[in-house]
Structure 1
Amino acid sequence: MSQVPIKFTQIFINNEWHNSVSGKTFPVINPATEEKIADVQEGDKADIDKAVTAAREAFKLGSTWRSMDASARGRLINKLADLIEIERQYLSELESLDNGKPLAEAEFDLDCTVATFRYYAGWADKIHGKTIPADGPVVSFTKIEPVGVCGQIIPWNYPALMLAWKWAPALAAGNTVILKPAEQTPLSALYIAKLAAEAGFPPGVINVVPGYGPTAGAALVAHPRVDKIAFTGSTEIGKLISKTASETLKRVTLELGGKSPLVVTESVDIPEAAQIAHDACFANMGQCCCAGTRTYVHESIYEEFVKHSAAIANKRVLGSPFDANVTQGPQIDAAQTAKILDLIESGKKQGARVVTGGQRSTRKGYFIEPTVFADVTDSMRIAQEEIFGPVQQILKYKSLDEVIDRCNSSAYGLAAGILTKDINQALKFSGAVQAGSVWVNCYDHTVVQTPFGGFKQSGHGRELGEEGLHGYCEVKTVTIKLAGGQ
Structure 2
Amino acid sequence: MAGSTTKTVYDIFQSMEFGPAPTSSTSTAQAWLDHHSYALGLFIDGKFVRPADRKSRSLLDSKGASMCSIVCAEDDDISQCASSAVNGFKVWSSMNCHQRAKVLLKLVSILGLHGKCVSELCELCEASCSPSTLVRLLQYYSSWAQLRDTLMTNWKPLGVVVVVVSDDSSLFTLFLKVFPALAMGNSVIIVPGHCTAPPALLLAQLFMGAGLPAGAFNVLTGTDVSLGAKVAQNPSISYVTYSGNKQDAVNLRKATAGMGVPVSVSPCIGATCPFIIFESADIDSAVDEVIEAAFKKKKEIHWVLFVQESVLDRVVACFKLRMVRMKCVGLQSTADRVLVDAAVKEAQQQGAMLIQACTAPPSGALYPPTLLWRTAPASPCVVSPSPGPLLPLMTFRSNTEAVTLGNHSPHGLAASIWTEDLTLALETAQSLSVGSVWVNSHSVRDPCLPVSGYKGSGTCTDGGQEGLYQFLHPSSSSSPSLPRSSPLPMDYTKFGTGASPVIIPDESDSASAPKSYLHFVGGKACKSVSGCSVAVQQPGGGGVLAYCPDGGRKDVRNAVEAAIKVQPAWIKKSLSARAQSLNSLAKGLEANSQDIAASVCVQTGLSMDKAEKELELSIARLSDWAAYCDKIQGATLPMPQSGSALSFPEALGVVGIILPDKNPILSLVTLLGAAVATGNAVIMVPSEKYPLPALVFIQVLLASDLPAGLVNIISGRKDQLTVALANHSVIKAIWYWGSAEGCQYLQYTCISPLKTLRLSCQNDDDDEGKDWTQSHPSLLEETWRNAVQWKSVWIPTA
Please list, as runs of the form range in 1=range in 2, the aligned pairs for 1:205-244 lying within 5 A after superposition. Answer: 205-244=216-255
Letter matched to residue 384 of structure 2:
E
Query: Does the 8 A contact of 2:169 with 2:195 survive in 1?
Result: no
The alignment status of 1:178 with 2:186, answered yes or no, reads no
Query: Does the 8 A contact of 2:266 with 2:453 survive in 1?
Result: yes
TM-score (ref. length: structure 1) = 0.83
Distance 1:125 1:341, change over 3 A: farther
Q: 1:266 is matched with which residue: 279, 283, 286?
A: 279
The alignment status of 1:288 with 2:300, answered yes or no, reads yes
Q: Which residue of 2 aligns with 1:275?
A: 288
Distance 1:336 1:151, change over 3 A: farther
Q: CA deviation at 1:178?
A: 0.8
In structure 1, distance between residues paired with 2:441 and 2:414: 12
Q: 1:303 is matched with which residue: 310, 313, 337?
A: 313
Q: Which residue of 2 aligns with 1:17?
A: 48
Distance 1:344 1:2, change over 3 A: farther
User: What are the superposed Cα offsets for residues 86-120 of structure 1, whole Å, 9 maximum, x if unpaired?
Assistant: 2222211111111186xxxx5xx321111001110
Q: Which residue of 1 aligns with 2:454?
A: 455
Q: CA deviation at 1:268?
A: 1.7
The DSSP-based 3-state class of the residue aligned with 1:66 is: helix
The DSSP-based 3-state class of the residue aligned with 1:260 is: strand
User: What are the superposed Cα offsets for residues 255-278 of structure 1, whole Å, 9 maximum, x if unpaired?
Assistant: 213211011011222211111222
Q: CA deviation at 1:211?
A: 1.4
Distance 1:340 1:143, change over 3 A: farther
Please list, as runs of the form range in 1=range in 2, the aligned pairs for 1:79-90 lying within 5 A after superposition. Answer: 79-90=106-117
TM-score (ref. length: structure 2) = 0.52
The DSSP-based 3-state class of the residue aligned with 1:151 is: strand
Q: CA deviation at 1:471?
A: 0.8
Q: Which residue of 2 aligns with 1:29?
A: 60
In structure 1, distance between residues paired with 2:225 and 2:50: 19
Greater alpha carbon shift after TM alignment, 385-394 vs 228-237: 385-394
Please list, as runs of the form range in 1=range in 2, the aligned pairs for 1:140-159 lying within 5 A after superposition. Answer: 143-156=154-167, 159=170
Greater alpha carbon shift after TM alignment, 111-120 vs 181-190: 181-190
The DSSP-based 3-state class of the residue aligned with 1:87 is: helix
Query: Does the 8 A contact of 2:327 with 2:358 survive in 1?
Result: no
Query: Does the 8 A contact of 1:404 with 1:433 survive in 2?
Result: yes
Q: CA deviation at 1:43?
A: 2.1
Distance 1:398 1:469, change over 3 A: same
Q: Which residue of 1 aligns with 2:214?
A: 203
The DSSP-based 3-state class of the residue aligned with 1:477 is: coil
Aligned-residue CA RMSD (Å): 2.8
Q: CA deviation at 1:334?
A: 6.4
Aligned length: 446
Distance 1:93 1:345, change over 3 A: farther
Q: Which residue of 2 aligns with 1:471?
A: 470
The DSSP-based 3-state class of the residue aligned with 2:147 is: coil
In structure 2, distance between residues paired with 1:27 and 1:267: 51
- Which 5+ residue runs of structure 2 have no aligned equivalent? 1-23, 478-773, 776-798
Q: Which residue of 1 aligns with 2:124?
A: 97
The DSSP-based 3-state class of the residue aligned with 2:272 is: coil
Q: Which residue of 2 aligns with 1:404?
A: 403
The alignment status of 1:390 with 2:397, answered yes or no, reads no
Distance 1:51 1:100, change over 3 A: closer
In structure 1, distance between residues paired with 2:360 and 2:183: 44
Letter matched to residue 263 of structure 1:
I
Query: Does the 8 A contact of 2:55 with 2:72 survive in 1?
Result: yes
Query: Does the 8 A contact of 1:193 with 1:208 survive in 2?
Result: yes
Q: CA deviation at 1:146?
A: 0.7
Q: Which residue of 2 aligns with 1:121?
A: 142
Query: Does the 8 A contact of 1:31 with 1:331 survive in 2?
Result: no
Rg: which structure is higher? 2
In structure 1, distance between residues paired with 2:406 and 2:159: 39
Give identity over the alignment, percent.
23
Distance 1:361 1:43, change over 3 A: farther
In structure 1, distance between residues paired with 2:101 and 2:337: 41
Letter matched to residue 235 of structure 2:
P
Distance 1:350 1:420, change over 3 A: same
Query: Does the 8 A contact of 1:264 with 1:418 survive in 2?
Result: yes
Distance 1:97 1:432, change over 3 A: same
In structure 2, distance between residues paired with 1:93 and 1:340: 30
The DSSP-based 3-state class of the residue aligned with 2:142 is: helix
Q: Which residue of 1 aligns with 2:25?
A: 2
In structure 1, distance between residues paired with 2:409 and 2:135: 34
Q: CA deviation at 1:199?
A: 1.2
Letter matched to residue 2 of structure 1:
S
Higher RCO structure (Cα 8 Å, ≥6 apart):
1
Q: 1:161 is matched with which residue: 167, 172, 180?
A: 172
User: What are the superposed Cα offsets for residues 19-38 of structure 1, whole Å, 9 maximum, x if unpaired?
Assistant: 25642111111232x21111
The alignment status of 1:112 with 2:126, answered yes or no, reads no
The DSSP-based 3-state class of the residue aligned with 1:435 is: coil
Q: CA deviation at 1:194?
A: 0.7
The DSSP-based 3-state class of the residue aligned with 1:81 is: helix
